[in-house]
Chains A and B, each alone.
Chain A
Amino acid sequence: MYSLQEGAMRNIFASRTGIITVGSVIGILATLLQTFGNPPNMGICVACFERDIAGALGLHRAGVVQFIRPEIIGFVIGSFLIALFTGEYKPRGGSSTVIRFFLGIFAMIGALVFLGCPWRALLRLAGGDGNAILGLLGLIAGIAIGVAFLKNGYSLGRTQANRNASGWIFPAFMLALFLMLVFNVSFSEEHALFFSAKGPGSMHANIWISLVFGLVIGALAQRTRFCTMGSFRDVMLAWDFHLISGVGALLVIAFLMNLILGQFNAGFEGQPVAHTDHLWNFLGMLLAGLAFALAGGCPGRQLFLAGEGDADSGVFALGMITGAGVAHNFAMASTPKGVGGFGPAAVIIGIVFCLMIGFTMREKFTV
């Protein structure tokens, strides 16, 4: 038996100081990744990078966004390794799997309409991109809707402990992707892997730097339970400012780093890999935020959980990768010129889907 104080000591990273430190470290590493070659205001973007991986695999054929991003791989494997080391690796799954897959698809669609996940929204803001304000407002609105569902008994059901294989399959898949990248696997001109010759997909840091930074962030984020969606959700749900202190640290430190590195450029027009359609920046992120809230984690957190052996989060991540393929193949993804042809309609459909899930997946928990 022990007090909260002692409990916190067992995992110092889960303390307020721990998460603020980690948020700051992520802010530094993310801005450095941009300096080292990642696209502007995109040192880290879980949605964009999963979309790039989808492109490399040929799940879509948008030539400017195809690359196997080692950051994503590092997130999963870094989390996997630290979870193994601390005894938190627990293969588990079976909680409304197919629903989570589709939540992942729609989360990606929403993110690609805005052109960023919550991590990137923060980095864009830290880089001076005013359009990120609309995105963050939309994110908060979407999460607020999710909070309302949560307060009314929304649940995707209990997860169950699984056998070992279901836990390491996703980290192994990530490792396989990295090996394919390192060995430059390519079957032919018309076959995978595809790598962008120009555009954001061609802008990347040295893959080993990306991998190592990803591993470090993966480990630190797993330890601190870092979650950008959860940070806003906890404020609304329980007036709890623990997670958001880490997110705030990320934002502030990233902003300072951008100033130091000359990466800060304030404005709305002409921002890198961004568009100024305020309405759809807002609604795209509303969809993404709602989907993340219903799935229990932001896209980064889903990767860290997948590394811990959570097969349901693995399925959500696979849904996001699939959703990237869908988004580009069906003209839903935005470009710096504006929204895609089918983007707005897809966002509306996605919001309707999420609302349906929120209303129908309810359980009465009695004490």
Chain B
Amino acid sequence: MDGKVVDARGLSCPQPVVLTQKALKEEITPFNVLVNSEVSKENVLRIVNKFKMQSEVKEEGEDFIITVSR
């Protein structure tokens, strides 16, 4: 996996969004966000969209790897 990783697996709402937001503000793209629930994935995608960034989602077992880039 290239770039920084935000490991938000197992964290309850709104931690995944808080951490993603921090990473977006620090402008360290591209970076990956790891979540392992549908809800967290939806929430992270929503904030990435809000920051007008691109996102790609890969499923790996129980986890979702969301790659955030410009």
- A51 within 8 Å of B (CB atoms): no
What mask results when residues 263 to 301 of chain A are scored 1 for a CB within 8 Å of chain B, else 0? 000000000000000000000000000000000110000
Most chain-B Cβ atoms within 10 A of its Cβ — which of A155, A237, A238? A238
A155 to chain B, nearest CB (A): 6
What mask results when residues 84 to 101 of chain A are scored 1 for a CB within 8 Å of chain B, else 0? 000010101001000000
Interface size on B, residues (CB 8 A): 37
Selected interface stretch from A156-164, A165-173, A191-199, A334-342: A156-164
One of B4, B21, B57, B62 near A238 (C-beta < 8 A): B21
Please report the C-alpha to C-alpha distance between residue A312 and residue B10 in the assembled complex, in whole angstroms. Answer: 12
Chain A, interface size category, equals 20 to 34
What mask results when residues 29 to 65 of chain B are scored 1 for a CB within 8 Å of chain A, else 0? 0010000011101110111111000011110001000
Please report the C-alpha to C-alpha distance between residue A33 and residue B4 in the assembled complex, in whole angstroms. Answer: 51
What mask results when residues 1 to 13 of chain A are scored 1 for a CB within 8 Å of chain B, else 0? 1111001100100
A159 near B12 (CB under 8 angstroms)? yes
Which 9 pairs of residues, A with B, have the shortest CB-CB distance?
A158-B10, A296-B12, A1-B56, A367-B4, A159-B10, A4-B49, A4-B45, A14-B42, A367-B23
Name 17 interchain pairs, CB-CB below 8 A, sorted by A: A1-B56, A1-B57, A1-B58, A7-B41, A7-B45, A7-B57, A8-B42, A14-B42, A95-B12, A155-B11, A158-B10, A158-B11, A159-B12, A230-B14, A240-B47, A240-B50, A367-B5
